[in-house]
Structure 1
Amino acid sequence: DTFPMVEQILKFNTPFQGQDVSNDASFNNDLSHHHKVPSLLGDCDWNDITELIHKMDSQPNMTFIECMMAELHKNTILSMRRQMQKENLIMLASYKGYSFHKYPAKQFQEKASNYMKEADIYKLINDVNPKNPTVSQSCLKTIFKTLDTTLIKLLRSKAITDAQFVLMHPQKSIIRLSYLYFVPDIDESKEPVVPIMVCKNAPIFNISHFISNTLWSMLNEITGCKKLANSDQVAYMLEQYAKADYLQETTYFVTFNFHDVCTKFSHHKALQALEKFLETHRPQLQEIAKHLSNKTILQLVRLVLETQYFIYDKKLYQQIHGSSSGSLLTILLAFTYLLYGQSTSLINTILNNKTEIFARYRDDIFLTWNGSKEDFQTLFNGTIHQQQENPTIPSIKTMIGKTIHLLDLELNNDKGHLVTKIFRNPKTDEYELPSQYEYHTNQPSDLLKAALKHALYCSTNQKDFEAERRHIRLSHLFRGFSSEFIDQCIEEFKKKDVGIKSDLIHPFHTIPFETLRKHIMQLYEAGMALEKEEKTQKTNIIHVPYPDSWTQEMALKIKDDLLNMVEESTTNKEAFRDIQFDLIPRPETPLAINDYLLDKRPPLSMLILSSK
């Protein structure tokens, strides 16, 4: 078949018109793209997706060319669906990847079923009838009643403030049960699949969000652990470390992943570890605690852990060990369990070395170490010693050396000189394109420019940058983009994104590497300064999306009316002083191709309360 260039097809798709609050990286960087649900799918069942596909070339105000391109896009998707149905295949992105791969549906389902049986972290409650889902609806109703009763008691006893009650209380009209699906893990052989729990609009989401923000502020204050947004930040942080002359010839880079701890920790021992942390450091955390007592914090965390119910394969389950991957408390509890659940020798050593880096990206830990490998391993093994637990948490593998891989970076200490570059994992797609989930845009030109910018951030040597630039070009050519499109993007990147003045008319490859990198790093530092300033002005914000039919003026008018109603009806007018209501346009996030081809979610009737 002959297809036009990819950028012509993608041009039809609507760009992001706004960030979905739950999809915003600043909102929940600890959640992967697998956990995020496009707003368009919020109220859609699988049959509705089929209808969306058939109507995609008949949208209002489309030009003739747009209709033709949309028709081509529609026919391609329908053809893929027929082929996959005929061959009994499913298409999924890997756990730490973005490109989609096909798998035999029966074989993949068997792997998922085996995980459910062998993991020993889930408890089967009951079967659920999709046509009459009273089991799931009754469960959801009970969870809401439990949360509602608990929060009201805490409010009346003045254990929480009015504002905290508003921020944590679930909205009954939109709550839904969580649901589980699986994705392949092509990077690990021990577990071929990884569970993905989608908790968007779960009854416990607001509590998890509020408590996790509070506890992370506490933990970061005490441990000095830096939360990493991406690998750009890793490269910049290491450069500052090297410029301060902390990087020695003897410095080792250390990293380890604690994903298994997240899914399998004992609830009792995790709560013990959290209590130990709070009691040890409470005098230093009075202001951050926001008037919450240790007892209240532990009560709310326990409440979240005890109400982890979800739907999988038309059955209702409860997670009885670990925490769901879609909960904002999961990584925090596992992190606390590691540092305070057993020996505290590791965290005490880190606290005594203020010049060393101690950072985290989701469930990956990274730190610098200026001792021997043996000393670190002894310290680490003493902290993470094996205990008789059920389920058993596998031993955590550490990587320590002068050269290691972290995220998509290769970090190298070359006799006291820092060298960083992009690392391509041979187990993942060699020609994977930049992801819309990572860069928060679906425009091909913006993605290509973002990839170039990322290469500049992370390449300390010109040779490595040129190799990555060639790889970016080859990846786009391999995926069907034209040379003209790529050259145009590079030219725009040079002039607009890097800030090279327009009177420099030399080709991109003749601009000195040092000049390019200097410009891009200055922009990065300016962006960090702006972000820091915005954080100092941050208040508690409740985002209320409004439909496309509203104008901005209409939204502002309704917002003012809403605030007046709240102020007139509340008995405590101070309750909302620290809360900001922000009406935002409902985002129109385009669906990924996977959303058109795979039914990941149970029927909506199994997740929501009865209309009665």
Structure 2
Amino acid sequence: LPPNFDQFEKITAPGFYWPPIADCTLVLIKRKRRTILKQGKRTLLNIFYAAYEYKIEEYEQQYQQSLKEFQSRFPNTIQINEISLIDAFKAYIVLHTNRIIHDILNKIAHFREIIAQRYQRSSSTKKMVGVSPEVTIDVLHCPFKADELSYLSLGESYIRPNQSALRREEHRETQIKNEVEDIREKVHRQIKNYCQREPPKAMMDHYCELVGSRLRQRFMAPLSYVDFMRAQREFRLVKSIRRKARKAKLIIRVCDKGGGLHIGSKSDYERKAAKYREDTKAYQELSYNPLKEMITNVTNALNVMKQTKELTNDNYSRLVPNPEHVKLSYKYYNPKPHKKGTPLRPIMNTIKAVARPISDFLDELIRPIYDEYNKDNTFTDGVDLIKCLENYAANGHLKPETLFCTFDINNLYTMLPQDEAIRILGDFLRQHVGERVKGVSIATIQKLAELVLKENAFIYDNKFYKQIIGGAMGLPFTLTLANIFMGHWEKRWVRRQQSKKEIYGRYIDDVFFTSNEPIETIQQLLKDANGWHPNIKLEWNIGHSVPFLDVLVSKNNGILYTSVYHKPSAEPYVVPFISDHPR
């Protein structure tokens, strides 16, 4: 890189503006500045990479041309030690090239040591904005030191190596035992579900002995001095980060859709969470723990279905909650730093929820049906969109006046009307399947869906809540039900687009469509659609170049262009090589 590359940020560092500002505005300004600098440096870095690659290709072409001229001048009849002159020359070039590459690698290693030493000595270098992914800091005063921030910048996928080596031997033995029991239970369940039979006990015992032996080798093997010191150092870093986060009342979360970690204040999270509850009015606060009540309600409902032969014994055994295994769901929020004000996305952990088995059961029954009958109006990914656009252009529908339009539905899962969604679910199944799905009646499916939606309570910030609108975002069936509801909502739009030979496709709550009508007509259509249902509100984008999923769709004079799209907050993150992942 050129020597003045590091001077880039000094041009955009108006430090004299900062002292008068001492609130959240300063946090926003600093974050925006770092984002602009990082994106600018990454862009310049990519330009230099492209220039170097172009130069390498140019040198390669010159080499091949010179080699052809050399071969034409010296025929293969000329030999040296029974090897043709041309082959000897090529062997010399390969040997010389490998020697140069080896020298370069040695110089790079030495150069990195020099850079590391300069970095340790220079305070200004440590403050410089780099191009690597970093943790997003959204607080005015950050208590973490540089090494702690560097550790957090390793990302959410980083696994601290050799964690068990710092525990006492009896703790490791307990962990091995728990791991073996967990693996045994999962393997047993999979064999029983797919083979429809109990696995042989002797074989399972032998398998678990082998697994335990491998785990014991992994957990009990002694570490080298370097690895042990590294494990201790990273353990101390994690403890320090936790202690400081608790003391300063900070929350560290994964950024929504952008990758990387985000540091925010607990008070800010609580304020935004309260505003979200107030805006959606989807949650009712409870004065008691509703877990036992939910278990009783679900069990009683399933008992009635079993007695009336609506459920088989096998289905009943699968769906009935086990009081020893179920837990109350808990809610947390992931920040969206790429949006103004860093709003929060609610996430529900429902792994051991009372209605989780029913949700999984319904999702297995219904999702294949939805996928089959709505595949023409559904985008599975960005590649699917590109293929659709290429066919659209090949058929002559892409014109200079064509507009690309996208819109997304606000809080679809949360704002899903429960009773109406259950009714639409029944209508959808009766239309495409009939009165039964794999032996289960539509009426029974609707009753089970009602249990999933209405027996949904959770804990957040040591308070109990019940969801009275929509469904839990963490349950698989909620996604399927939302898709079916949106399929019903968009019917008139689909018919309109098909009649005009235009594209219309949806990916969950994001929609893309094309139009050759004036922009005023499209805007009026979107405004009208905003009033089709009180719970469905749209935010749209219209233009000749729009992003959708991971694709940037553009056109120029009726010619289609597509490229990879990265959200403004997206970080070029890969799992660090030093992470304790399988290699």
TM-score range, shorter chain: 0.5 to 0.7
CA distance in 2, matches of 1:249, 1:14: 60
Task: Tell me if 1:141 matches 2:289.
Answer: no
- Name the residue aligned to 1:273: 424
- Name the residue aligned to 1:425: 567
CA distance in 1, matches of 2:552, 2:388: 14
CA distance in 1, matches of 2:367, 2:526: 22
- Name the residue aligned to 1:106: 267
- Name the residue aligned to 1:201: 352
Match of 1:98, SS state, is coil
CA distance in 2, matches of 1:108, 1:355: 42
* Residue of structure 1 aligned with 2:331, choices 173, 177, 180: 180
* Residue of structure 2 aligned with 1:348, choices 495, 507, 513: 495
CA distance in 1, matches of 2:439, 2:514: 35
CA distance in 1, matches of 2:314, 2:518: 50
CA distance in 2, matches of 1:14, 1:367: 51
**Larger CA deviation: 209-218 vs 194-203:** 209-218
- Name the residue aligned to 1:404: 546
Deviations 1:273-293 (A, max 9, x none): 3344345xx2x3249932333
Match of 2:459, SS state, is strand
CA distance in 2, matches of 1:366, 1:243: 19
Residues 63/589 of structure 1: CA separation in 2 closer, same or farther (3 Å cut): same
Residues 105/251 of structure 1: CA separation in 2 closer, same or farther (3 Å cut): same
- Name the residue aligned to 2:509: 363
Residues 204/411 of structure 1: CA separation in 2 closer, same or farther (3 Å cut): same
Q: One-letter code of the match for 1:345?
A: R
Match of 2:538, SS state, is coil
Deviations 1:356-415 (A, max 9, x none): 45241x43233445655555555554444155x5xxx47312223331112333122334
- Name the residue aligned to 1:76: 237
Any residues of structure 2 matched to 1:97-496 within 5 Å, and which? 97-126=258-287, 135-136=288-289, 139-189=290-340, 192-225=343-376, 230-231=381-382, 234-235=385-386, 238=389, 251-279=402-430, 282=431, 284-286=432-434, 289-340=437-488, 344-349=491-496, 356=503, 358-360=505-507, 362-369=508-515, 373=519, 376-385=522-531, 393=535, 395-426=537-568, 428=569, 432-434=571-573, 442=575, 444=577
Q: Give, in angstroms, the shift of residue 122 of structure 1.
A: 0.9
Q: Give, in angstroms, the shift of residue 261 of structure 1.
A: 3.1
CA distance in 1, matches of 2:162, 2:500: 50
Match of 1:365, SS state, is strand
State how many pairs are aligned.
Answer: 382
Residues 340/377 of structure 1: CA separation in 2 closer, same or farther (3 Å cut): farther
Q: Give, in angstroms, the shift of residue 74 of structure 1.
A: 1.5
Match of 2:258, SS state, is coil
CA distance in 2, matches of 1:81, 1:88: 10
- Name the residue aligned to 2:13: none
Task: Tell me if 1:63 matches 2:205.
Answer: no
Match of 1:400, SS state, is strand
CA distance in 2, matches of 1:95, 1:257: 16
CA distance in 1, matches of 2:222, 2:248: 37
TM-score by length of 2: 0.55
Contact 2:250 2:266 in 1 (8 A): yes
Q: Give, in angstroms, the shift of residue 302 of structure 1.
A: 1.4
Contact 1:12 1:66 in 2 (8 A): no
Residues 152/411 of structure 1: CA separation in 2 closer, same or farther (3 Å cut): same
Structure ranking higher on relative contact order (CA contacts 8 Å, 6+ apart): 1
Match of 1:322, SS state, is coil
Contact 2:502 2:515 in 1 (8 A): no
Query: More helix per residue: 1 or 2?
Result: 2
Residues 110/144 of structure 1: CA separation in 2 closer, same or farther (3 Å cut): same
Contact 2:379 2:505 in 1 (8 A): no
CA distance in 2, matches of 1:414, 1:92: 41
Residues 118/203 of structure 1: CA separation in 2 closer, same or farther (3 Å cut): same
Q: One-letter code of the match for 1:193?
A: L
Q: Give, in angstroms, the shift of residue 309 of structure 1.
A: 0.7
Identity %: 24
Residues 169/314 of structure 1: CA separation in 2 closer, same or farther (3 Å cut): same
Residues 358/116 of structure 1: CA separation in 2 closer, same or farther (3 Å cut): closer
Match of 1:413, SS state, is strand
Contact 2:435 2:441 in 1 (8 A): no
TM-score by length of 1: 0.53
Deviations 1:123-177 (A, max 9, x none): 1111xxxxxxxx43xx323322332333343344343445544554444442111
- Name the residue aligned to 2:91: none
Contact 2:402 2:516 in 1 (8 A): yes
Residues 375/344 of structure 1: CA separation in 2 closer, same or farther (3 Å cut): farther
Contact 1:345 1:383 in 2 (8 A): no
Residues 359/264 of structure 1: CA separation in 2 closer, same or farther (3 Å cut): closer
Deviations 1:22-56 (A, max 9, x none): xxxxxxxxxxxxxxxxxxxxxxxxxxxxxxxxxxx
CA distance in 1, matches of 2:393, 2:578: 34
- Name the residue aligned to 2:196: none
CA distance in 1, matches of 2:460, 2:428: 35
Q: One-letter code of the match for 1:92?
A: R
Q: One-letter code of the match for 2:301?
A: T
CA distance in 1, matches of 2:481, 2:506: 16
Contact 1:224 1:358 in 2 (8 A): no
Residues 122/383 of structure 1: CA separation in 2 closer, same or farther (3 Å cut): same
CA distance in 1, matches of 2:471, 2:529: 22
C-alpha RMSD over aligned residues: 4.2
Residues 277/374 of structure 1: CA separation in 2 closer, same or farther (3 Å cut): farther
Q: Give, in angstroms, the shift of residue 235 of structure 1.
A: 4.6
Q: Give, in angstroms, the shift of residue 242 of structure 1.
A: 5.5
Deviations 1:217-275 (A, max 9, x none): 33333333566565455456655766677755555433222242321233233234334
CA distance in 2, matches of 1:108, 1:102: 11
CA distance in 2, matches of 1:351, 1:144: 47
CA distance in 2, matches of 1:288, 1:231: 35
